[in-house]
Amino acid sequence: MTSSIQKNLASKNAEYASKFTKGNLALPPAKHYLILTCMDARIDPAAAFGIDLGDAHVIRNAGGSARDALRSIIISQQLLGTKEIVLIKHTGCGMLTFSNDDAHSLVKKNLGPSAAAEIATLDFLPFTNLDNAIKGDVDYLKRSAAVPGDVVISGWAYEVQTGTARQIV
């Protein structure tokens, strides 16, 4: 059975593909940087930060977590030549609203003991303070042996209510 979401995706993609003219862009990002941000549906990195197709890698995960994104960051830098990391977390993030214990309990309640056992050691990487989480992730990346010392790293807070971003680090 095809869902309405799938039908919409196919329709919108057909419309997009009929006008698509950028199929010859190079694999490495033209501007040699990557954005790491949250998966929150209220953030449109391309529109909010002026990223054209082919300019940058955009890595998204829950909370814009550097630890969770390290594999993608390494690939972006070592295989595809990015030289700068722009980490962007945001106000009103869901990661501010729960603890690891909350998440583990919810999985056990909703999915049962097998699922709870499978994720027993999983750190959901929640945080309680936005600015401190940004500083902590930037520090993590700067201390990581997997991120070259000459990579430029900055940390930003995006305000979902206004669309503005402020640099924290």
The number of beta carbons lying within 10 Å of the beta carbon of residue 32 is 16
> What domains are there in the chain, each with its CATH number?
32-97+127-167 (3.40.1050.10)
60-70 confidence digits (pLDDT tens): 999 999 999 99
Using an 8 Å Cβ cutoff, are 83 and 32 in contact?
yes
Q: Read off the amino acid at residue 57.
A: H
* Calpha distance 71→165 (Å, rounded): 26
Beta bridge partners of 152: 84
The reported pLDDT for the residue numbered 58 is 98
Share of the chain above pLDDT 70, in %: 100
Helices 66-74 and 130-143 pack at an angle, to 10 degrees, of: 40
Q: Read off the amino acid at residue 149.
A: G
6-50 confidence digits (pLDDT tens): 999 999 999 999 999 999 999 999 999 999 999 999 999 999 999
- Stated length of the chain: 169
Terminus-to-terminus CA distance in the chain, angstroms?
48
